[in-house]
Amino acid sequence: MPLYTKFLKELMTRKRNWGEKETVVLTEECSAIIQKKLPQKMMDPGSFQIPCIIGDITIEKALCDLGASINLMSLNMMRRMRIEEAKPTRMALQLADRTFKFPHGVVEDLLVKVGEFIFPADFVVLDMEEEANTSIILGRSFLATARAIIDVQKGELVLRLQEEKMVFNVFKATSYPKEAIGECMMVDTIEQIVQGVLEEEQYEGSMKLEQQAPREEPPQGTMESSIMTNHKDNNGEEAPKLELKVLPPSLKYAYLGDNSTYPVIINSSLSKEQEEELIQVLKQHKDAIG
């Protein structure tokens, strides 16, 4: 019998042990993974954007970028600030796609107001398309001037001036819409006012059309028959049914007599109780209405 066959047979029948127990020392990295000492993974807090004022222009979201070595603004923004000239420069900007852009110039010593703090900064002006949410980029030079401290975990950006400091929270800045909340609260009220004015205009328009419509003089025989009809109605006999016009949605017909006779026009927004009270009053003055 071959030696390896005998060895495997004894091993399978547990007559021979595979080996003695041995203690294996793990590295620090393996121990951290097994004992779950690794820090919790966090989500991307988003870009750090702060509001600032340059001259009389308010910039709601200025991007703070540690990856940019310069402060950058668009040519359109420079014209909005009414800056006529920029200092010429031979600087070339290499973009992420390896292309090169040549700036329009450099604007020096602009005062950037952030909250109650004012910092001087130089801006490179580039002719580029201006995005809706980012007008300027504040690079490392501005952040160093403002002695900025960025806590990515908390989403906080701290700017310091001498002994004072100002804290911006990125999460709070991105959790509210750009528009004022008051504008959203006015929508329902405006709709009600517009609806009321529209109903009044429709009613006035229908009344004007009715007044401007030419009235044809009925023949003498027709007048006599209508007088006889009214006389019969007063005696309790059946009144003739008239051909009614189509009314706007704000108006509707109500009937003072039985079987849809003696129609009158009332407001369709009345409640059932108000409508019944109005009809009772009109019935009392039915003879005056004619």
- Residue 270, classed as helix, strand or coil, is coil
Maximal C-alpha separation, the chain: 140
DSSP 223-245: HHHHHHHHHHHHTTPPPPPP-PP
Terminal-residue alpha carbon distance, the chain: 131
Residues 6+ away with beta carbon under 8 Å from 245: none
Could you give the C-alpha distances from 172 to 48, 176, 217, 239, in angstroms and in order?
11, 7, 75, 73
Kindly state the helix (H) or strand (E) to which residue 126 belongs, with its residue range: strand 117-126
Q: How far apart are CA 237 and CA 149, in angstroms?
A: 95
Per-residue pLDDT of the chain (290 residues; tens, 9 = 90+): 567 677 677 767 765 555 556 676 777 777 767 777 667 777 776 778 888 898 888 888 888 888 888 899 888 888 888 888 889 999 898 888 888 989 999 999 889 998 888 999 999 998 887 665 567 889 988 989 989 888 888 888 888 988 888 888 876 654 444 444 444 444 455 556 666 666 766 666 666 666 665 555 545 444 444 444 444 444 455 555 666 777 777 788 787 777 777 788 888 888 888 888 888 887 877 766 65
- Report DSSP letters for 274-287, one per residue: HHHHHHHHHHHTHH
Distances, alpha carbon 118 to alpha carbons 55, 150, 161, 194, in Å: 11, 19, 9, 47
Could you give all domains of the chain from N- to C-terminal order, each with its CATH number?
48-178 (2.40.70.10), 240-290 (no CATH)
Pairing type for strands 72-74 and 57-64 reads unpaired
